[in-house]
Amino acid sequence: MVGAAAFLTHHHNSLYFFSSASTPRFLPEPRLRASPSPAKQSGACCSTDRRKLFNRIAPVYDNLNDLLSLGQHRIWKRMCVSWSGAKKGDTVLDLCCGSGDLTFLLSEKVGLGGEVAALDFSREQLSIASARQQLLWNDCYKNIKWIEGDALNLPFEGSYFDAVTVGYGLRNLDNKQKAMQEILRVLKPGSKVSILDFGKSNSALVRLAQEWAIDNVVVPIASFHGFTEEYKYLKTSISEFLTGNEQEMLAKDVGFTDAKHYPIAAGLMGNLVARSR
C-alpha cells in the first residue's frame, strides 16, 4: 500500500488509529448516539455533507438496513461478494465499506491466507465496523485492515487487488468516472469489481414501487429514529444515479471489459460486474 492511509485497529479494547506516516494516537471512543442533525446539515449535496450524513446515521445504520429490507440486504451482499470472484488467499478491497458487512463476508472468503483492505471516509462507520470485528470474533477477521480514506484517491499501488467490492457506495460518489478509474488502476489484470446498489430501473412500475416504499415505509421509520432528511436523501440519490445500462457504459468507457449489470429483487437493487483488462 502507498500514501498516508489511516488504519484502525484494536489494542487492549481501545480503539486506536495509526497512519503509515505517523506514530499511533488514540481516537475518541466511538460515539454511541447520533449527533443532532440540524436541517441545514441534512442535505447531501457534496462529499463533505455526505461524510457527515454517514457519520450521523452510523449508530442506526445496520439495524435500519435489517428492518427496512426485511433482512434481504444480507442476501444481496452475499451475491455481490460471490460475483466479485474473490477466493481463498486473495488480496481484496471493500471500497466504501461502511460498517463492514461486505468486508466480513470477503474476510471469510479469502481466509487467513488472504488480506482484506476495507476503506471508508466516515470515521463513525469505521468505528462501528471495528467494534463489530471484536464482537463477532472470528479468527479469520485478523486479515482485515480498516482504512480511513477517499474512494476517489486510493492509497494503493497499481495492480494490487484480486477483487474489489463496492456496496451502496458508487451512487454516493461525486465523481463516478474517477472512482471507476481508481478501481481499475488498483485491480490486477483480469480481476473483477462487483458493485451493489439500488437499481434505477427502466420500468416505471418498479420506480414507482421503490419511491412509494421510500416515502411511505423507509422515511417514516427513519424519522422515528430522528433521521428524516438523511433517509429522504435515498430517493434523490437514486433518481440522480445511473441505470444499469449507463453503469455498463461507464465501466466500458474507463477501460473495463465484460461489464454486465444484474437486476436484483425485480430491479429494486442491481449489481454491476466488470473485469479489468
Ligand X SMILES: C/C(=C\Cc1cc(O)c2ccccc2c1O)CCC[C@H](C)CCC[C@H](C)CCCC(C)C
Q: Which three cell numbers stand for residue 227?
A: 433521521
C-beta of residue 100 within 8 angstroms of C-beta of residue 107? no
Which x/- pattern, by CB under 6 A, does the window 176-215 give for ligand X? ----------------------------------x--xx-
Q: Which three cell numbers stand for residue 131?
A: 467494534
Nearest to 84 by CA among 202, 165, 16, 167: 165
Q: Smallest distance from the beta carbon of 204 to ligand SAM, in angstroms?
A: 25
Residue 5 in the binding site for ligand SAM (CB under 6 A): no
Residue 214 DSSP label: I
C-beta of residue 153 within 8 angstroms of C-beta of residue 185? no
For 12, half-sphere exposure in the C-beta direction (CA atoms, 13 angstrom radius) is 1
Residue 69 in the binding site for ligand X (CB under 6 A): yes
Which residues between 114 and 143 bind ligand SAM (CB under 6 A)? Answer: 120-122, 125
Q: List CB contacts of 207: < 8 A, sequence separation 6 or more.
A: 200, 201
274 touches, from ligand X, ligand SAM, none (C-beta below 5 to 8 Å by class): none
Residue 95 in the binding site for ligand X (CB under 6 A): no
CA-CA distance, 127 to 125, in Å (whole number)? 5
Task: Out of 51, 73, 192, 275, name the contact with ligand X by CB under 6 A.
Answer: 73
Q: Binding residues for ligand SAM, per CB under 6 A?
A: 47, 50-51, 54, 96-98, 101-102, 120-122, 125, 150-152, 167-169, 172-173
Q: Binding residues for ligand X, per CB under 6 A?
A: 57, 61, 64-65, 68-70, 72-73, 168, 172, 210, 213-214, 218, 230-231, 233-234, 265, 268
